[in-house]
A and B are shown apart, each in its own frame.
Chain A
Amino acid sequence: MKLVIFAGPPTCGKTTVIRQVLKRMAAREIKTAYLKIDVLYADDDILVKKEFGIPVKKIYSGELCPDHCNVVVLDEAVEWAERSGASYLFVETAGLCLRCSPYVENSLGIVVLEATSGMNLPRKIGPMLTLADICVITKIDLISQAEREVFRYRVLESAKKITVVESNALYGIGIDPIVKQILKTPEVEFPMYLRGNPPVGTCTICVGKKEIGAKNHFGVLRTLEQEIFYVGE
Chain B
Amino acid sequence: MEVTKITLFGGYGKDGSAEKVKEFSMEVGDIVSIVGPTGCGKTTLINDIELFANQNTPSGRRVSINGEPVPEDFIFDPANHPIALISQHTNFLSDLPVEEFLAIHATVRGAQDVESIVGETLDFANELTGEAIMKDIAMTELSGGQTRSLLIADAVVIGNAPIILLDEIENAGIHRTKALELLKRYKKIFVFVTHDPCIALMSDFRIVMQNGAMQQLITTQPEEKKVAGKMKQIDDMMLDFRQIIRSGDELSESIFNESFKVLTF
- The reply to whether the CB of B180 lies closer than 8 angstroms to some CB of chain A is no
User: In the bound complex, do residue B85 and residue A145 qualify as a contact, i.e. CB atoms below 8 Å apart?
Assistant: yes
Q: Is residue A185 within 8 Å, beta carbon to beta carbon, of the partner chain?
A: no
Check if A99 is an interface residue, CB within 8 A of chain B: no
Whether B108 pairs with A118 at a CB distance below 8 angstroms is: no
Tell me if A149 and B95 are in contact (CB < 8 A): no
Contact B95 A120 (CB under 8 A): yes
Cβ of A171 within 8 Å of any chain B Cβ, yes or no, is yes
A206 at the interface (CB under 8 A from B): no
- Chain A interface residue number, banded: 20 to 34
**Any chain B CB within 8 A of the CB of A150?**
yes
Q: A90-130 toward B: CB 8 Å interface, digit per residue (1/0)?
A: 00000000000000000000000001101110000000000
Question: What is the predominant secondary structure among interface residues of chain A facing chain B?
Answer: helix
Q: Does A200 reach chain B (CB closer than 8 Å)?
A: no
User: Is there a chain A Cβ closer than 8 Å to B254's Cβ?
Assistant: no
What A residues does B92 contact at CB under 8 A? 143-144, 147
Q: Are A150 and B108 in contact, with the CB atoms below 8 A? A: yes
Q: Interface size class for chain B?
A: 20 to 34
Residue of B nearest to A146 (CB): B154
Contacts known (A150-B101, A171-B58, A177-B76); A145 close to B93, Cβ less than 8 A: no
- Is residue A183 contacting chain B, with contact meaning CB distance below 8 A? no
B94 with A153: CB separation less than 8 A: no
Shortest Cβ gap from B192 to chain A (Å): 17
Q: Which chain B residues in 56-112 approach chain A with CB under 8 Å?
A: 56-58, 76, 78-79, 81, 84-87, 89, 92-96, 101, 104-105, 107-109
Are B93 and A152 closer than 8 Å at their CB atoms?
A: no
Among A144, A151, A166, A172, point to the contact of B89 (Cβ < 8 A).
A144
> B155 near A: Cβ within 8 Å?
yes
Within the assembled complex, what's the spacing in Å between the Cα atoms of A151 and B95? 11
- Does B105 lie within 8 Å of A173, measured CB to CB? no
**Subset of 12 A-B contacts with CB under 8 Å:** A142-B93, A143-B92, A144-B92, A145-B155, A146-B151, A146-B158, A147-B92, A150-B94, A152-B108, A153-B104, A153-B107, A153-B108
Given A118-B95, A144-B87, 8 more A-B residue pairs with CB atoms under 8 Å apart are A116-B93, A119-B96, A143-B92, A145-B78, A145-B85, A147-B93, A150-B94, A152-B78
Interface residues of chain A, those whose CB is within 8 Å of chain B, are: 115-116, 118-120, 141-153, 164-166, 171-173, 176-177
Q: Which residues of B contact A (CB under 8 A)?
A: 47, 51, 56-58, 76, 78-79, 81, 84-87, 89, 92-96, 101, 104-105, 107-109, 151, 154-155, 158-159
